A and B are shown apart, each in its own frame.
Chain A
């Protein structure tokens, strides 16, 4: 075996640094004792996994690319294997969640990278790659998986430079980041392996060489466009791999019963995830759809006159049994999608704890409403934004204890996390008692970054909303967890993609709160069925205050139209529901019809409907994006007879009434 000159010389700075930093480890690496296995030897063992044809290029290329700049030391990536595991094991459920999610994210990144390879000028793609990377890094950091965090951080730096246009994206960059995805996948899978009691798979050398390459790329030693170099890992000096090769039968036991994974084949399947499987939500939707239809058919059969004419004890018993079973099936299928938000809150709690410790800001976290049930997809999708918001609160919102005390506040800050239903929505609130948003600094920063015109003077609420703009960040330096200006941008995008909304309430010196308002896309809605013309519509019961048939003297006319109704002491605006929605503007006499009083956002209006039918629990279904511009309608519900009833959106209706009167004014 011969040692390649290039690799030998590359190792030198690392070895030198290592000796200086940690003499004990240096000794261990030179001794090559069988147990405990020297870390460097472990690191080398990963090489066969990455047996890549590009390696053939190494001698030529690496000679050209002799590193002059400081390169990462190998112990930066392997020191923590034991401490890391302790951290991860302390919450293995969370760790498994992280692993599954991170692999998902890496899958997304990989797909986007391949797109980027074709359209390197597309900056949106770069953002799409950057965001999940940032999330993986943040989550790894929260869990204390330092090795993953460090690698991700380096690559993120590269992506950030590319995003800001300081690095041209070419084949080299895409290759490098793709390789980073592989390395990270391997490292993350390895965390799972170790969690399951398997020995550590050496990933250090890969990580180091990757980071070295990234650093070299960043310092401009590789010209953009030049072919990527797979670094000379110390292949010729390879000792017998200490870690299991993934193809070894030793892993078969773990493979059995493990969740199928779409990761690369040479990565062993993750053990210990067999109790839960990830199911495409569309499959769940299909079950819910079919079961809903089953209920309808069951009730049609039960009410069939021909059948009810038969007087038969056995038939009656069987029909009753069928009804019970279908109802049971429906409950169960609905429950498939609904989960308490606790899972998301737990992750946030972890983040708050870790960041408060890292930042030296003691924080009390108060959690309420963690049993609030939400669509499973919502809980999954809202986790990242919530974590970002909580990070922001602790990192930027909360002051250091001495500052707090100087301002007469308790040294321990309070962050509260709560979830509750409000009307047909779920509100999730992340609240801190920190310094509040600095309106002036946000304005200045937005001007500097060109997000608004230099002479623009927006209202304070509009200024606060600027923190949701892409590329906005007031943090002076980039920290491990926040301050790159991606967080709040992701938050808004994720929430809006759930057709939700995020609002900020802030008070200087008193703290801020982020209010996330999510619709219950699939949640069961307590509805009030009303008739408008030939159509039956569903009003969310939570928005309905009361319904009444007003006495003629309580209806007040304006320009010949019934426009106001007196309900006890207050006079409410009166609106024909059919007319405002545009469903046939039959002029109804309110004193002959029914007035439903709806409260939304603090204002009450009286809606005139032909008839109030009954209360019913309905399943909210989207009408699809074909009807996205229809106002006042939130979705559709399948009613008892199989027909669809429109679910009305009180918020939208109140807005329409307001817009209408504004136009008239």
Chain B
């Protein structure tokens, strides 16, 4: 068995609050509303070389350069053309170097949910294939399961996104 991801950190009371939910394929994910700065329609993204595929590049958010991560690719979903409903959720994440604004591309934004303590459950163990480290827990709301994401973990791999450059000789 690998490490029990969330076991040690699960704190139901800390997870209670408002969440912005969004869809990736048929799955529903959510991030704390307090982390969300704004939601913008998909826009032209400037590609940055030498980064993993899921880092789509940078966008200009009113004069600020912010990196954008495609969450579909990050979570291993097949790539899909962006549509009218595709959104960039601008979030504030705590990285090793401090707090940063970042954009995450999602299929579409669903709603803002008030998640109560009774609705929150610990992430079950799925075995080894699925990483549960970046899930804070799950919420069962109206018969649907929403995954509560730990954005700092999803986006903050060692505090940087870029990978070392593959040796191109």
Q: Is B162 an interface residue (CB 8 A)?
A: yes
Q: Is B130 an interface residue (CB 8 A)?
A: no
A625 to B49 CA separation, bound complex (whole angstroms): 15
Contact with A along B58-85 (1 / 0, CB 8 A): 1110111111000000000000000000
Closest CB of chain A to B44's CB: distance in Å? 5
* Count of A-B residue pairs with CB < 8 Å: 95
A643 contact set on B, CB distance < 8 A? 44, 46, 60
Asked if B62 contacts A629 (CB within 8 A), the reply is: no
**Closest B-chain residue to A635, C-beta based?**
B65
A623 contact set on B, CB distance < 8 A? 48, 58, 65, 67
A660 contact set on B, CB distance < 8 A? 168-169
Q: Which of B47, B100, B169 contacts A663 (CB 8 A)?
A: B169
Identify which of A3-11, A241-249, A288-296, A308-316 touches chain B: A288-296
A636-B58, A643-B46 known; A628-B160 Cβ under 8 A: yes
Asked if A626 contacts B165 (CB within 8 A), the reply is: no
- Residue of A293, A582, A622, A626 with most partner-chain B CB within 10 A: A626
A579 to B97 CA separation, bound complex (whole angstroms): 31
- 6 A-B pairs within 8 Å (CB atoms) are namely A582-B50, A582-B166, A622-B65, A629-B160, A630-B51, A636-B58
Asked if A638 contacts B165 (CB within 8 A), the reply is: no
A484 to B169 CA separation, bound complex (whole angstroms): 46
Q: Which of A290, A621, A627, A663 contacts B162 (CB 8 A)?
A: A627
Q: Which residues of B are interface residues toward A (Cβ below 8 A)?
A: 44, 46-51, 58-60, 62-67, 95, 97, 100, 102, 159-169
Asked if A289 contacts B63 (CB within 8 A), the reply is: yes
Q: Is A580 an interface residue (CB 8 A)?
A: yes
Asked if A624 contacts B100 (CB within 8 A), the reply is: yes
Q: Is A644 an interface residue (CB 8 A)?
A: yes
Asked if A293 contacts B49 (CB within 8 A), the reply is: no
Question: What 7 pairs between A and B have smallest CB-CB spacing?
Answer: A289-B63, A582-B49, A644-B46, A629-B162, A626-B161, A581-B49, A663-B169
Asked if B63 contacts A292 (CB within 8 A), the reply is: yes
A597 to B49 CA separation, bound complex (whole angstroms): 22
Closest CB of chain A to B65's CB: distance in Å? 5
Asked if A631 contacts B50 (CB within 8 A), the reply is: yes
A645 contact set on B, CB distance < 8 A? 46
B62 contact set on A, CB distance < 8 A? 289-290, 293
Asked if B46 contacts A630 (CB within 8 A), the reply is: no
B51 contact set on A, CB distance < 8 A? 627, 630
A638-B60, A644-B65 known; A664-B46 Cβ under 8 A: no
Asked if B46 contacts A636 (CB within 8 A), the reply is: yes
Question: Which residues of A in the span 575-627 have a Cβ within 8 Å of any Cβ on B?
Answer: 579-583, 621-627
B160 contact set on A, CB distance < 8 A? 625-629
A661 to B168 CA separation, bound complex (whole angstroms): 10
B63 contact set on A, CB distance < 8 A? 288-293, 638
- Residue of A289, A534, A621, A630 with most partner-chain B CB within 10 A: A630
Closest CB of chain B to A621's CB: distance in Å? 5
Closest CB of chain B to A529's CB: distance in Å? 13
Q: Which of A292, A579, A630, A642 contacts B48 (CB 8 A)?
A: A630
A642 contact set on B, CB distance < 8 A? 60
A622 contact set on B, CB distance < 8 A? 65
Question: Which residues of A in the span 138-170 have a Cβ within 8 Å of any Cβ on B?
Answer: none
Q: Is A40 an interface residue (CB 8 A)?
A: no
Closest CB of chain A to B50's CB: distance in Å? 5
Q: Is A80 an interface residue (CB 8 A)?
A: no
Asked if B49 contacts A583 (CB within 8 A), the reply is: yes
A629 to B161 CA separation, bound complex (whole angstroms): 9
Asked if A629 contacts B163 (CB within 8 A), the reply is: yes
Q: Is A229 an interface residue (CB 8 A)?
A: no
Closest CB of chain A to B59's CB: distance in Å? 7
A630 to B50 CA separation, bound complex (whole angstroms): 6
Q: Is A486 an interface residue (CB 8 A)?
A: no
A626 to B55 CA separation, bound complex (whole angstroms): 10
Q: Is A520 an interface residue (CB 8 A)?
A: no
Q: Is A535 an interface residue (CB 8 A)?
A: yes
Asked if B46 contacts A624 (CB within 8 A), the reply is: no
A630 contact set on B, CB distance < 8 A? 48-51, 162, 165
Determine chain B's interface SS by DSSP, over half rule.
loop
Asked if A621 contacts B65 (CB within 8 A), the reply is: yes
Question: Which residues of A in the span 626-655 have a Cβ within 8 Å of any Cβ on B?
Answer: 626-633, 636, 638, 642-646
Asked if A629 contacts B44 (CB within 8 A), the reply is: no
Q: Which of B58, B64, B164 contacts A629 (CB 8 A)?
A: B164
A625-B97, A627-B162, A629-B164 known; A289-B48 Cβ under 8 A: no
Given contacts A582-B50, A624-B67, A636-B65, 7 further A-B contacts (CB under 8 A): A288-B63, A583-B49, A623-B58, A626-B95, A633-B48, A644-B59, A646-B48
Asked if A629 contacts B60 (CB within 8 A), the reply is: no
Closest CB of chain A to B74's CB: distance in Å? 14
A628 contact set on B, CB distance < 8 A? 160, 162
B66 contact set on A, CB distance < 8 A? 624
Asked if B162 contacts A646 (CB within 8 A), the reply is: no
Asked if A580 contacts B161 (CB within 8 A), the reply is: no
B64 contact set on A, CB distance < 8 A? 289
A40 to B65 CA separation, bound complex (whole angstroms): 60
A643 to B159 CA separation, bound complex (whole angstroms): 25
Asked if B49 contacts A663 (CB within 8 A), the reply is: no
B67 contact set on A, CB distance < 8 A? 623-624, 626-627
Closest CB of chain A to B67's CB: distance in Å? 5
B169 contact set on A, CB distance < 8 A? 660, 663-664
B168 contact set on A, CB distance < 8 A? 579-580, 582, 660
A328 to B64 CA separation, bound complex (whole angstroms): 21
Closest CB of chain A to B2's CB: distance in Å? 27
A625 contact set on B, CB distance < 8 A? 95, 97, 159-160
A638 contact set on B, CB distance < 8 A? 60, 63, 65
Closest CB of chain A to B122's CB: distance in Å? 31
A582 contact set on B, CB distance < 8 A? 49-50, 165-166, 168
A664 to B167 CA separation, bound complex (whole angstroms): 11
B59 contact set on A, CB distance < 8 A? 644
Asked if A644 contacts B58 (CB within 8 A), the reply is: yes
A627 contact set on B, CB distance < 8 A? 48, 51, 58, 67, 160-162
**Closest A-chain residue to B155, C-beta based?**
A626
B164 contact set on A, CB distance < 8 A? 629
A631 contact set on B, CB distance < 8 A? 50, 165
Closest CB of chain A to B12's CB: distance in Å? 31
Asked if B46 contacts A535 (CB within 8 A), the reply is: yes
A581 contact set on B, CB distance < 8 A? 49-50
Asked if A633 contacts B49 (CB within 8 A), the reply is: yes
Closest CB of chain A to B52's CB: distance in Å? 11
A580-B168, A660-B169 known; A626-B100 Cβ under 8 A: yes
Closest CB of chain A to B102's CB: distance in Å? 8
A636-B46, A644-B59 known; A624-B165 Cβ under 8 A: no
Q: Which of B46, B162, B166 contacts A626 (CB 8 A)?
A: B162
Asked if A629 contacts B165 (CB within 8 A), the reply is: yes
A186 to B158 CA separation, bound complex (whole angstroms): 44
A288 contact set on B, CB distance < 8 A? 63
**Closest A-chain residue to B157, C-beta based?**
A626
- Residue of A293, A627, A642 with most partner-chain B CB within 10 A: A627
A583 to B49 CA separation, bound complex (whole angstroms): 5
- Residue of B60, B67, B159, B169 with most partner-chain A CB within 10 A: B60
B58 contact set on A, CB distance < 8 A? 623, 627, 636, 644
A582 to B168 CA separation, bound complex (whole angstroms): 8
